[in-house]
Amino acid sequence: MPALWSFLDKFESHVCRILLAVFVTLLFAQIVARQLFGFSITWIEELSVILFVWFAYFGASYAARMAAHNRVGFHLNALGREKARIVEAIGDLFWIAFNLVFIWQSIEFISRLKPFVKAQTLGWEMRYVYLALPIAFTLMTLRILQVNYLKLVRGIDPADPDKVSVEAALELAEDEKRAYDKGHR
């Protein structure tokens, strides 16, 4: 069961990796077809755009899970951590409200689409393409709630991805310096 929870916790990450791999592969095939064989595969461009849009929305949901969306943080850094968490949670309430309105409006929009509204080259009904909107914003809302639960109830702050990558790079540089110094004594 822990493996299932771990997979679900990183669901958006897995989806993004698959989408990225597929649309990059499709674009590469399109470039090879054009440059080497002199023809274009018409549906690849449309499918690549659709996959990229899905990638972007699922990536936004994954960023919400990582608490990696941009925020103005200088005022939060001036507050104590408990107060900063409350201010972040209030901001997140507005975000959730926006997401709920967006989910409702996107479902309304999709429900009004006629079956003949289709992707030009693929022939898919556009209502299936636009499903990325309510799905991703629902996931994003759940992830915002999850992060706030971790912060407010459990007292766990997600690590800032930018700070983590800088700290990891500094640690790596220190390790390399120690190895260099050890080898040259």
Amino acid letter for position 178: R
**What does the mean pLDDT of the chain come to?**
85
- The answer as to whether 124 is a domain residue is yes
Does residue 180 belong to any structural domain of this protein?
A: no
Average pLDDT over residues 2-31: 87
Q: Is 69 within the bounds of a domain?
A: yes
Query: Residue 18: pLDDT band by 50, 70, 90 thresholds?
Result: very high
118 — phi, psi (to 5°)?
-130, 160
Residue 62 within a domain: yes
- Using pLDDT thresholds of 50, 70 and 90, give the confidence band for residue 159: low
Instruction: Report the percentage of the chain scoring pLDDT > 90.
Output: 44
Q: Is 181 among the domain residues?
A: no
Q: What is the CA radius of gyration of the chain?
A: 22
- Which residues, in sequence order, are CB contacts of 27 under 8 Å at separation 6+? 44, 48
Count structural domains, the chain: 1
Answer whether residue 36 is part of any domain: yes
Q: Give the residue numbers spanning the domain of 64.
A: 2-174
H-helix or E-strand spanning residue 153? none
Q: 119 lies in a domain?
A: yes
Residue 76 lies in a domain: yes
